Amino acid sequence: MLTIWVDADACPKAVKEVLFRASLRTKTHIILVANSFLAIPPSPFIRTIKVEHGFDVADNYIVCHLKAGDLVITADIPLAAEVIAKEARALNPRGELYTPHNIKQTLGVRNMMEQLRSSGLITGGPSSFGMKEKMAFANALDRILAKKL
């Protein structure tokens, strides 16, 4: 049975709302992991895990508890790499599915961009999250859940 894990501290509210509706519609279990309280709708399929504050605590919890075939929602590329190594899937909030075929390249680009930002050559981060990104996420999630059903 597929479980969806959510790296919830930085997950956009719009993505959580898409996940909640999909969970109810498909009866898929969702576990949101965060280091702060999260409001969730009443549902037998949705629950939260509150972890301690600290570097990668939520990530480590997810990696330790997921099973092969599970889905993790995260924008954290190093976490996505660990998820893939455990034969699970990772989808970012913008609808990009990380796979064994693209994760090494994606991780390399992330590391290069981090070096450029730390040296001051590049400032800023990703573009803002809007309706286009929300729809891309919802469509990617629907494709994954359709395969489950």
Which pLDDT tens digit goes with each residue over 50-108? Answer: 999 998 999 999 999 999 999 999 999 999 999 999 999 999 999 999 998 887 887 77
pLDDT band for 139, please (50, 70, 90 cuts): very high
Q: Are 124 and 113 in contact (CB under 8 A)?
A: no
Look at 111 and 11; give whichever has higher pLDDT: 11
pLDDT score of 20: 98
Tokens, residue 90: 């990772």
Terminal alpha carbon distance of the chain: 10
CATH number, residue 38:
3.40.50
Report the domain count for the chain.
1
Q: Are 82 and 15 in contact (CB under 8 A)?
A: no
Domain region containing 136: 3-148
